[in-house]
Structure 1
Amino acid sequence: MAPTLVGAAGNARARRVRATAALAGVELNWDSSFDMKSNWKTEEFLAKNPFGFLPTLELEDGTVLRESGAISEYIAELGANSTLIPSDPLQKAQVHSWQATADQELFIPGSLANRQLMGVLPYNKSNFDGIVKKINERLSVVDSILVTKTFLVGERITLADIFVASALAQIFATVIDADARVKIPNVLRHFETIVNHPKLLEIFNPVNLVEKVTPPAAPAKEQKPKAEKAPKAEKAPKAPKAKEADEEEEEPLVPAEPKVKNPLDDLPKSAFNLEEWKRQYSNLDTRGSGGSLEWFYEKFDREGFSIYRVDFKYNEELTQVFMSSNQVGGFFNRLEASRKYLFGSVGVLGKANDSIISGAVIIRGQDIEPVINVAPDWESYSYKKLDVDGNADDKAFFEGAMAWDLVIDGKEWADGKNFK
């Protein structure tokens, strides 16, 4: 008999438990009849759960688990998807820290601010603005962390991503509006990747994003009888009005450089959606039926995009694997200006003091230089166009780089980075 989850349909904490079960492949019975307006704190319910909080998970033997974090971890351990809770102790600790961040820095303060908008708590503009300001500061930090990451911990979805996405779904629908969201593009990219995962679509969607936060209307003031007005004194002539700061701005001392249009934007439109490929790659197994490579070959536009092999020229300088992996990460960081034209999977193959850096990139157009030369160290790598249709070796290399199981001259894939 499947365990029973008790929690309201729109509750973010219940949503994160359901998302965990969906990704872990664990069956749940879901009782969504409880909500904050119903009389759910019955004697029977409190006998099972004295704290009276939702959600809860009731097991077959009658054991009741509370707290969404504990419930999610229990379900993740039951499932076959071990990546939800990494086995590595460091990564496991990082997942726990993100779970705490999602609750303490995003969800809980967001709920307090939203209660003021709903009238559950008295609205205080100074207090409300202070809470929202702090949330936006935290989101800015998360945005900077996600500049080079698809997921918060490692290269696959973990509970960290589920908890942050569930908190974002709540605050994006209530207190973080369009003007604030436009300032955190990497957070939005992460959020859309998670909520549009095929197994999570039904749980998170439809995603209702607030366009503009509107403070509650102030109560109407009681009209007092008007006192008779004294005769007005003649006004003195007004002094010339000082110019407002936004009426007339001083010319900059140094003229701004005109923005140069990227020639890649003038290429004919392509039916291949690079951003959708990045989502497919992130959410699906790479190889096999229904995998991301199968999707790629079906959708790839060979005229609008091309595939290149990338090799570091100075492998004799490489020492520790983690240092070489950091070097790849730095190279990808410096490619930020070409993010919308590029996807990459580059790794370190071999072992300490006997390794190479190699991988593959998918680029807009047929010439790699306009895409890659935004990185100052781009000439430290060599590039070779791959023919995945007519050359079996090229195809095997590309698939190995995408799946992180590439082997070159007996050197096996040891670590890698994705540029998304």
Structure 2
Amino acid sequence: MAAGTLYTYPENWRAFKAQIAAQYSGARLKVASSPPAFTFGQTNRTPAFLNNFPLGKVPAYQGDDGFCLFESNAIAHYLSNEALRGATPQAAAQVLQWVSFADSEIIPPASAWVFPTLGIMQFNKQATEQAKEDIKKVLGLLNQHLNTRTFLVGERVSLADITVACSMVWLYKQVLEPSFRQPYPNVTRWFVTCVNQPQFKAVLGEVKLCEKMAQFDAKKFAEMQPKKEAPAKKEKAAKEAAKPQEKKEKKKEEKKPDPEEEMDDCDAVLAAEPKAKDPFAHLPKSSFVMDEFKRKYSNEDTLTVALPHFWDNFDREGYSIWYCVYKYPEELTLTFKSCNLITGMFQRLDKLRKNAFASVILFGTNNDSSISGIWVFRGQDLAFTGHFWEGEIDREMQCPGPLWAIPGKIKCWNRFQSMLDAQP
């Protein structure tokens, strides 16, 4: 029977899986989640901890025999018994199926929706609305599966139920209000059954389903952000005047970074690079505030709020609108890979975020799709001219007029004057 220590922080739902599994299997598990046994952000950065768990992440398990594990699913699996893991190869595979399902289908949208309500993450309206739709799909699938079943695999609780239920704890506690969960009675029945099992209650306590959907609290979010430390007090002026040389040397010593804050190789290379000239510095100040529009676009309805704000405030002299098309649609295969291409492009153009805005969309289905988009750039010229960033290839003229090829396999950039002409 397994016996050891689980390192985590309080109320870590990922650690709940291992704790509940241990309750069922009878594994002797000690939980180190508070000082002096464990201080998150300190203990997990010590050389001794990193020697056993190189990533420094929790939950982390260390057996009394010295056996170490990281990753919550692996720990929960190790602490389970045969009944939880699946007594047959088929049942074991089904358990693994639902464990993977929780990681890939539930946790991402649940985090995007719930974390802003806890003050952990900034609110994004589009991301939250998309997360709600994704959770509806998840609940619909689970509701159908549980229509003739009490538990996900077999006739008793398995690691599948433990994992999926733990991934949904904060959903049920924070945002799944009665009206939202009403179409999915089988899921709620199953969830309530699980969390009221003695083994679940020993870890989770009483789980109260939310009555009203929690919303983003800007004040709470601000309070959760790390605060800068106040500068140290200066020595008395008389003492400093008496020892000017000593004071100068002390100031130099104070500017030395702590060993923990020394730059890694990547930071050192970036710091050594010469400051690039701002390619937009020559442009006059514009009345159109890009950040203000982006906030409207991210947090409010696009058609009724963001777009009217755009056209009411758009500076035709200070900005221009362009249309782009992906050059090799025949290379686009699976849609999720094509979406990754778009995301990768945006990541590589991060320096433009203060001077540009874009909406780039994938159209079509697997092995039959295309990518195109609309961009708003500072100034009247295309931003991608010459060597905008070191390492990029020269652009070549593709066709008459302002049509340009750029890296990333974008076919052309077409000045979209017709959009402007259509506006009053």
TM-score after normalising by structure 1: 0.48
Query: Which has the larger helix fraction?
Result: 2
TM-score after normalising by structure 2: 0.47
